[in-house]
Structure 1
Amino acid sequence: MDKEQVKKLRAICRDISVLYVEDDISISAQLEKLLRKIFNNVEVEKNGLSGVQSYTKNRQDIVITDISMPVMDGIEMCKRIKLINSEQNILVTSAHNDAEYLVKLIDIGVDKFITKPIDMGSFLSNISKIAISIYREKRETVLESRIKAQQNLQKELLNGIIFPLAYFDEGEIVYANSSFKKQFFTEIDAGDFSRFRLGYLFENKKYVSMSNSELVQEISNSDDKTYLVMDVNKKIVKKYSISVTKFQNAKGCLLSFVNLNALNEEINRFSEQVDYFPKRESFSQALLEPKKSTKENYEIFCVGLKNTKGFIDKYGGAKMHSIFNSLAKSLKKEFSAEVQSKELSIYLFETNRYIFLVEKNLDNSAIDKRLSDFGKKYNYAFGSGLPLELSFIKENIKNTQSIGDILENTEGMLYTLSTI
């Protein structure tokens, strides 16, 4: 074996460990030197008992052993190692040509032998074959592990998507994300994907007689992607936009369902809330107006609900959004007169954080009381039993403060309110 071959062998054997058991010091020293040139991890023992103890602790990839040794011979050692790992690679070196020894070793499961005196060329050839086989197995295991990890990650990502997804291959569901299972699977479907019939979900009865493959093709070819589909879990019909995605070099396709009813509700919710009050940028512009730059003082109130995190953890974000929307409506109704008279301006800084900019001629103590009464008047828990109290803090804005200072103080108030 030339230097280039040895170099390649060393690269393959870098992560392969070896246990070498030999009681003859002269033979052991020579072979150990050769092994350490190839392998980074080599353990050397002088009898079968210490060999078993080392293997039990370290589980080396390759075991090389003599037969005749004190305390415990190589045959007994091989037997015990094979009991621990029946697939263990063992190479036996022995001066014995006795058929009885060979039969015992073969019965144990050892099939690799080298006779003494050891021919180094033959030894390298044998050890190379074993090492290359182990290297390939390890590489395949690593690749399988990586592929499995990637598949698990993909499944986690798909399960995290809120709209239903299902992958069909030759008419059968191969994969469905959590949302699809929750909305469209019966108990029978969940136990056996092959029984799932897509057509039964559709309001239009013409799809019932179609096979899954036919219906997927129908949806793919149709210009109108909007369908009425039954949510099996809630037992109600919803309007969905269904799209079919086909992948290159793959027979299957991915169906995605977007609930148009929920989407429209979400759009309306945001648009309604946006229309109620101007935003943070408008507040900054208001501070630049001439009347705000006079020597007159005014006050800023920061208003928001407490206990929102606990409420979301218990009842979910969707219900919390309804409460935020209700809060916005209530604020608009309660202070509509002051807003119309421009004595009070309300700005939405965050989903649950409002800034009240109060003019000098408006009774600030009255605003304090109004906000306190407002918090008691409206119930935002919707019978949940978890109170959502209205919290507010205020600060007097002095005429000596710059706009930058006012904005900084306002951000500080928002942060303080979030910690209450």
Structure 2
Amino acid sequence: MDINIVKLKKYASKCSVLYVEDDEIIRTQTASFLGRFFTDVVLAEDGVIGLAKYKERKFDVVITDINMPNMNGIEMIEAIKEILYTQIILVTSAHNDSEYLMKLINLDVSRFVLKPFNNKQFLYVLYKIAEELTFENERKELQEEVVSLSKNAQIIVDEIKIGIITIKDNEVNMANRAFLDIGGFDSYDTLKLEMPEIGVLFEEASHCVNATSNKDLIEQLEQLGDDEKKVRIIKDTKTYEYQVTSTKLEEENSYILTFSDITAIHNALYNDEHTKLPIRKFVLEKIELLKQGVSELGVIIVRAKNFENIAKWYGKAEATAVEVEFSTIVKAVKNEQLPNAFIGYFAENQIVIISDKYDMSETYKILKGIDISTETLFTKHDRTDLRFHLSTQAEFLKLDTSKELNALEVDLINAFDFMQ
């Protein structure tokens, strides 16, 4: 029973003791002995007083005799256990009665010292109790510090505008505010409930990551080059694109993924500078995606009749303004009639609307009736010398999806040429 007195004093200095003993001489002597190590010792001469003092404040350790007037030690222990069942209690008694022992064991009391005290044995029991309490307090403090650091880290991560998630054993176990906003989730719990496999969040698109499970997502990111580590999301009919980076953490099967918004770059590369509609490359990419699993695609092609004369008569700037106005009107009709259909800029004065599952007849009818006149642009350009009237040419096509993409491109080119 080796005891490190220095450690005992260090441990005991942070512990509070309630000592209950009816014998005044033993109480005084033991209190003096306890005072050599514990700086916070409260005395009580029977169970009633001891219980009253216990109710006034918390104690790390309760040391009590058994046989006492008014309320004996076992009765007091029963009352204390009702208040705090985990309370550490050390029983001191001159009796070694099995009946007492069974009652105490049933109360989950396992620390006993017989009187008269063997100081070394008593000291060893106190040392183990103080050590246990110190270690437990240190564990709690460390746990609170970790929780605090974790909360602070989450606050810091939430301030980062780049979407961040961590995946461990193929499950998302952290997501910052920016990523929750990307997916439209109000909280991490909602993400876990509604979309535990985050790959489902992203649209199928060529040159982008397409994965239905977190495992597949990680595997694809590890195999793809940086230029291909992209995902697309459609929110409120708008397309957003994000560059993804993946980093393997030291912890086994753990990864951190970041999502940087490159929508502006994507739009600059894929959208027409003036009409802001997806250019031909993106139109063909969309056709390639939509033709999977269907035998034909419905397409409306639209152009403004005699548009080429605008540039001749009024110059390129006015022709561009007319094209923007025309595309805005066509886009408004599409959004009203077919909000989920795709619209793109195939070439100058050539707009396509594509759908794989919607009736396009009403949209086609409305588009054929569009007119753009001089008055339409008066208020926008502060010009009164514009004199023209443009009508719309529109055709409804069925694209055979069994054809290769380059063949479908030729079909669209021919269809627009035939309109002229």
TM-score, normalised by the number of residues in structure 2: 0.57
For 1:250 and 1:224, how far apart are their aligned partners in 2?
27
Other structure's SS at 1:192 match: helix
1:170–1:178 Cα change, 3 Å: same
- Asked whether the equivalents of residues 19 and 64 of structure 1 are also in contact (C-alpha less than 8 Å), the reply is yes
Say whether residues 1:197 and 2:226 are aligned partners: no
Paired position in structure 2 for 1:92: 91
Matched-pair contact (CA < 8 Å) for 2:246–2:255: yes
1:227 aligned to 2:226?
Answer: no
1:105 is matched with: 104
Query: In structure 2, do the counterparts of structure 1 residues 189 and 108 end up closer, same or farther at CA, with 3 Å as the change threshold?
Result: closer
> How many residues are treated as equivalent by the alignment?
263
User: How far did 1:94 drift?
Assistant: 1.1
**What residue identity is the alignment partner of 1:158?**
V
Determine the C-alpha separation between the residues in 2 that align with 1:252 and 1:102: 52
CA 1:105/1:58 → structure 2, altered by over 3 Å: closer, same or farther? same
Query: Distance between the aligned counterparts of 1:199 and 1:252, measured in 2?
Result: 20
The SS at the match of 2:36 is: helix
Q: Which residue of 1 aligns with 2:352?
A: none
**Structure 2 CA distance for aligned equivalents of residues 48 and 120 of structure 1:** 24
**Closer, same or farther: CA 94–53 of 1 in aligned 2, 3 Å:** same
Do 2:163 and 2:259's aligned partners in 1 also have CA atoms closer than 8 Å?
yes
Structure-2 residue corresponding to 1:133: 132
1:42-72 Cα distance to aligned partner (Å, 9 max, x none) = 1111111111111112220111011122222
Q: What's the secondary structure of 2:226's corresponding residue?
A: coil
Deviation at 1:208, TM superposition (A): 3.8
Q: Which amino acid aligns with 2:149?
A: Q
Note the C-alpha offset of 1:123.
0.6
- Identify the residue that residue 169 of structure 1 maps to in structure 2: 168
Q: After superposition, what is the alpha-carbon deviation per residue over 1:155-195, rounded to whole angstroms, capped at 9, x for unaligned? A: 11111222211111232211111221222256896242773
Do the aligned residues in 2 keep the contact of 1:62 with 1:89 (CA within 8 Å)? Answer: yes
Q: Which residue of 2 aligns with 1:61?
A: 60
| Equivalent-residue separation in structure 2 for 1:214 and 1:118 (angstroms) | 68
In 1, the alpha carbon distance for the partners of 2:237 and 2:46 equals: 73
**Secondary structure of residue in 2 paired with 1:118:** coil
Partner of 1:182: 181
Against the structure 1 CA distance between its residues 123 and 146, is the aligned structure 2 distance closer, same or farther, given a 3 Å change threshold?
same
1:213 maps to what in 2?
A: 215
Alignment-derived partner of residue 374 in structure 2? none
For the pair 1:245 / 2:244, whether they are aligned, the reply is: no
Cα pair 1:200 1:208 within 8 Å, conserved: no
Q: C-alpha deviations, 1:67-125, integer Å up to 9, x for none?
A: 12222211111111111111111111111233222222222222221111111111111
Which residue of the partner structure matches residue 37 of structure 1?
36
Q: Percent identity?
A: 30
* TM superposition shift of 1:243: 1.5
Match of 1:153 in 2: 152
**One-letter amino acid matched to 1:130:** I
The Cα shift of 1:129 comes to: 1.6
Equivalence map 1:2-401=2 (5 Å): 5-184=4-183, 190-192=191-193, 195-198=196-199, 200-204=201-205, 207-209=209-211, 211-220=213-222, 221-224=224-227, 227-232=230-235, 234-261=236-263
Task: Please tell me the residue identity of whatever aligns with 1:179.
Answer: A
CA distance in 2, matches of 1:165, 1:87: 42
User: Is the contact between residue 79 and residue 108 of structure 1 (CA under 8 Å) also seen in structure 2?
Assistant: yes
Give how far 1:218 is off: 2.6
User: Do 2:172 and 2:196's aligned partners in 1 also have CA atoms closer than 8 Å?
Assistant: no
Q: 1:62 to 1:231 in 2, by over 3 A?
A: farther
- Quickly say closer, same or farther: Cα 1:69–1:183, change in 2 above 3 A: same
Report the alpha carbon displacement of residue 35 of structure 1 after superposing the two structures with TM.
0.8
Return the letter of the residue paired with 1:204.
Answer: A
Alignment deviations for residues 242-293 of structure 1 (CA, whole Å, 9 cap, x no partner): 212222344311111111236899xxxxxxxxxxxxxxxxxxxxxxxxxxxx
For the 8 Å contact 1:174–1:193, the answer to whether it is kept is no
Quick check: 2:203–2:210 contact (8 Å CA) kept in 1?
A: yes
Moved over 6 A (4+): none
Q: Tell me which residue corresponds to 1:284.
A: none
One-letter identity of the residue aligned with 2:263: N
- Once residues 120 and 210 of structure 1 are traced to their aligned partners in structure 2, the CA distance between those partners, rounded to angstroms, is 69
Q: Provide closer, same or farther for how the CA distance between residues 95 and 194 of structure 1 changes in structure 2, counting only shifts above 3 A.
A: farther
Q: Distance in 1 between matches of 2:173 and 2:75?
A: 50
8 A contact 2:209–2:231 mirrored in 1: no
- Asked if the contact 1:227/1:239 (under 8 Å) is kept, the reply is yes
CA contact (8 A) 1:82 1:109 kept: no
In structure 1, distance between residues paired with 2:194 and 2:13: 45
Q: Which runs of 5+ in 2 are unaligned?
A: 268-420
Could you say which structure has the larger radius of gyration? 2
Contact 2:172 2:192 in 1 (8 A): no
Q: Could you list the per-position Cα deviations for residues 112-155 of structure 1 after superposition, in whole angstroms to 9, with x for gaps in the alignment? A: 21111111111111111222122221111111111111111111
Instruction: Indicate the SS of the match to 1:175.
Output: strand
1-side partners of 2:133 and 2:197: how far apart? 43
Q: Is the 8 A contact 1:18 1:64 kept in 2?
A: yes
